Amino acid sequence: MRNAEQTRNRRGTRMWFLLLLITLSPYHLITCLHCDDKIISLTFHDGPNPKSTPQLLKILDDANIKATFFVVGKMVEKYPELLREIHKRGHQIANHTYNHKNLKTLSTTEVISELSRTRLLIKDITGVDSYLYTPPGGQYNSRVIKEANSCGYKMALWSVFPEDHRNPSPIIYEKVITTSRDGSVVLLHNGPPDTIDALPKIIEKLKARDFKFTTLSELLTQGKGKHIVYPRD
């Protein structure tokens, strides 16, 4: 009887010792540091733009964060030096077609041409081969997804859209702050002055809430992006 009790006590001590070890082990500590990470990705559509791209880059640099620029081919052709600058500052560059047309209205050949022209421009100017794209105006269907997929292109959408192309700065701020959460992808535009005005405040507020900013590819690599709106038909 006494022996059984001693064995139980020894087992109990061992269990507590084991729990203590797990708690103190560096692996556990590292896991805990990462499990609370809130990661968010800012994306900017429609650039590069000679007025707002330098402003955006300065805001992002000042905040020491990286973002993703979905660029339009015809703008890239006009302002290749801006694309180079975006790349030089460490931001991700991805594809937003060449002419910014509704992909649903184009033939299959035209869809692929829209994506390929911009992919090749990005590659020529920065050396980066990007297969990630967003459809202009969020317009797509199963044919667009399938044909683009067959050429290796991957569609990405977003989960937070403050409609910054038509809203004033305080509304943009409010919408982003109230709807952002871990893994969110925020769609903003590389152009509107109200976006430029709202952005520093948005970043400051999200940082205060312990959000970390990363590129879209990095977000997806980390298995986040669970709030991204995936393509549907």
Residues that bind Zn ion (CB under 5 A): 45-46, 136
Least distance from Zn ion to the Cβ atom of residue 207, Å: 27
Q: Are 184 and 60 in contact (CB under 8 A)?
A: no
Closer CB to Zn ion, residue 63 or residue 145?
A: 145
Question: For residue 210, what are its two tokens?
Answer: 């312990």
Do the Cβ atoms of 152 and 131 come closer than 8 Å? yes
What distances in angstroms separate CA 152 from CA 122, 147, 148, 198, one per listed residue?
16, 9, 7, 35
**Contact call for residues 175 and 201 (beta carbons, < 8 A):** no
Q: Which is nearer to Zn ion, 134 or 224 (CB)?
A: 134
Closest residue to Zn ion in the complex (CB) = 45
DSSP 15-84: HHHHHHHHHHSHHHHHHHHHHT-EEEEEEEES---TTHHHHHHHHHHHHT---EEEE-HHHHHH-HHHHH
Min dist CB 114 to Zn ion, Å, is: 12
Closest CB to Zn ion among 47 and 183? 47
- What is the smallest separation between the CB atom of 45 and Zn ion, expressed in angstroms? 4
User: Least separation, in Å, of the C-beta of 163 and Zn ion?
Assistant: 12
Decide whether 96 or 224 has the Cβ nearer to Zn ion: 96
- Shortest CB 165 distance to Zn ion, Å: 9
Answer positive or negative: Cα dihedral of 79, 80, 85, 87: positive
Largest CA distance in the chain: 88
Q: Which is nearer to Zn ion, 63 or 111 (CB)?
A: 111
